[in-house]
Each structure stands twice: as structure tokens, then as C-alpha cells.
Amino acid sequence: MKRHVTIKDVARVAGVAPSTVSYVLNGSRAVTAETTKAVLEAVDQLKYRPNPTAQGLVSGAYRTIGVVSAQIYSQYRGRVVAGIHSALRGTGYHPIVSGIEDFAEPDEVLETVMGRGVDALIFHDHFFPPERIAELHRQMPVICVAREIDGMPDRSVLVDEVNGGYLATQHLIELGHTRIAHFVADHHFQGAAQRLAGYRKALEEAGIPFDPALVFQGDNLGDSGLRLAYELLESGVPVTAIFAANDYMAYGAILALHRRGLRVPEHISVVGYDDEHTSGFYVPPLTTIRQEPREMGRTAAEAVLKLLRGEVFRTVVTPTRLIVRESTAAPGHAG
């Protein structure tokens, strides 16, 4: 097995002390041009790559950002992580990503991330206990994506979720729908309540009474949309449209309608939320609410870098917009 090159090897080849090599690589102390040249030539000759964890143990800076993300299989969340990667490229900092899928995992996830040594944390989940996040916030820079934590002002990159729910519902109302079901996402997710608030706001502005019988509580998965659509159909409550709180739930709803012989949008219109990559290629292509996940990830990464430099960061609210495709039409469209 090839032996790992150490800082002592570099020092020996350059003819200097190991501490001098550290000064050159970290820029922590002035070193003569001649010595710097000798060290860098030795680094190049030996192909030395510093060990971030070992460096962190010595300097207290690991040059890594921990990223905790729920449901990392989601295309939307994957784009947030891609935005983080993009923003950190060339900064000397690198992300360590760990997924969290339920409320039983925070200790395991935290051990995975913190065990590697991190300088800051980005949370994009709704499982991690808020009190634990607040505790970590007192130890290092922490930024939350699409989530606010009590006692952590200006530590979030948010989405205009109320406007997203409003735009989705307003679109259906403008098409002539008045009986619009709403499939709510996981109630632990802050955006779920905000999207519901946007739904209610659009109804109120249009003079359409809010009907609790049209609101169905689910989670964030396609299976949930499938189940809720069956519940809706079996309830006998008349509807002409469904606003699902995310695209996966919309996919499940469309499948349930298909199995019951109902066509979208001829019989029932469906709107999703998130604009997953597959939504434009679904059958029918899904009308949905688009967020800016890469921008959210990029902003979150830039925020932690600001905090690490001791600079001020103010909470950012990213926009939402309606993407109209072929899953919505006026009621009674079936011919």
C-alpha cells in the first residue's frame, strides 16, 4: 500500500521545519519568497494533499460545511445541494452531505456530519429537532433552508410559500374552478401551512367560501397523493380540481384518477408544487409552482461563508412562480 505523504515529508524535501510548511499552506505567517517557492515545489513533487480533518484538529478550521437534507432522492432537494456545491467551488470549503428521513435519525445524522469535523451547518429538512438546531447555532454558523427556527433571526433562506399556494389556486379559479381540493403536505413542514394559507387567500379574494371538507392531510410522498385521491373520490365530495402541495403528491393523485377512469384535465385539473425535472415530461405535463432550488442552495452556502468571515447576513426570501402546462383546463372540458 502506498504510504500517505505527510507534512513532515514535505518539510524534509523542502529543507524546512514542518511548522514552516503549515505557515506557507495556511498563509498564517509571513514566509520569504525563496522558502515559499521551496515548499510549493516540494508539495508539487510529492503530490501532497492536506488532510482537512487533521488540519482542523490543529487549526480549529476544517474547511468543510455540513449539509443535512431530508429526502435527498427528491430532484428538488438535489438541486438545492447542487447549488451549495456550486457556491462552494473554488472557496476552499467543501460540503459533507448527510440525509435524514425521519424523526428517529437526528443523533445518527449529527454524528456522521460532526464526526468529520465541520465549520458550519446548512439544514434543509423538517425532521431535525428545532431545539437541537438552536443549540448548534450557539456553537457555529448555521443556516436553514425553507425553515425558520425560534431564537435564530436572520439565519434562514426562505421561499415565498404563501404566494406559491396563492398562485396555484388563483390559476384554477381563473379557469373557472370553484370546487378545489387541497392535498396538504407533511404538517411538520413549515411550508405546508404556508401553502395552505395561500390556497385560502386565493379563495377568499375570489369570494369562494373555504370548505374544510376539501382539505386532505397527507405527507410529501407520491403514495400519499394516491391515497388522498382515493379518499377524495370515495368521499363523494364534488370537485373539479386538485392542488397538491408537491409534485410527487400530484403524480400519485393523477395515477389514482387514471385507475378510476378519470382523465386529467378533462375530468379533473391537477396542480403540483416544486416543478421537479420530471414534471414537464409527465403525462399530462404538470402545471406546477416553480421555486429556485439552486439559487436557494447557492444563497445558503454564501450565507455561511459570510458568517464564517464575521459578516452580517439577512434572511432572504426567494420567489415562486406558476408554470402552466397541460394538467389544467376549464371545468367541464371533457367532450
> Average pLDDT in the 69-84 region?
84
Q: What is the pLDDT of residue 148?
A: 95
From CA 195, how far away is CA 260, in angstroms rounded?
A: 28
pLDDT in tens, 30-45: 778 888 889 889 888 8
Q: What is the pLDDT of residue 59?
A: 46
Name residues whose C-beta falls within 8 Å of residue 95's C-beta, 6 or more positions apart in sequence: 64, 65, 66, 67, 81, 84, 85, 88, 122, 301
Q: Where does 64-159+293-317 sit in CATH, by number?
A: 3.40.50.2300
pLDDT in tens, 137-189: 998 999 999 999 999 999 999 999 999 999 999 999 999 999 999 999 988 88
Q: Do domains 64-159+293-317 and 161-291 have the same CATH topology?
A: yes
pLDDT in tens, 195-227: 999 999 999 999 999 999 999 999 888 899 999
Q: How far is CA 1 from the centre of its chain?
A: 40
The mean predicted confidence, pLDDT, of the chain is 88
Q: How many residues does the chain have?
A: 335
From CA 170, how far away is CA 168, in angstroms rounded?
A: 6
| Cell numbers for 129 | 429537532
Confidence check: pLDDT of 324 > 60? yes
As a whole-number percent, the residues of the chain with pLDDT over 70 amount to: 89
Identify the DSSP state of 277: G
Q: What is the pTM of this model?
A: 0.79
Closest CA to 48 of 14, 93, 15, 17: 14
Domain spans in the chain, listed from the N-terminal domain onward: 7-50, 64-159+293-317, 161-291
From CA 120, how far away is CA 186, in angstroms rounded?
A: 27
- Check if the beta carbon of residue 166 is closer than 8 Å to that of residue 243: no
pLDDT tier at 58, thresholds 50, 70, 90: very low
Q: What is the pLDDT of residue 1?
A: 45
Does CATH number 3.30.300.30 belong to domain 161-291? no
User: Which of 1.10.260.40, 3.40.190.10, 1.10.530.10, 3.40.50.12280 is the CATH number of 7-50?
Assistant: 1.10.260.40
Q: What is the pLDDT of residue 88?
A: 94
pLDDT in tens, 239-261: 999 999 999 999 999 999 999 99
Q: What is the pLDDT of residue 101?
A: 67
From CA 298, how far away is CA 321, in angstroms rounded?
A: 19
Confidence check: pLDDT of 109 > 90? no
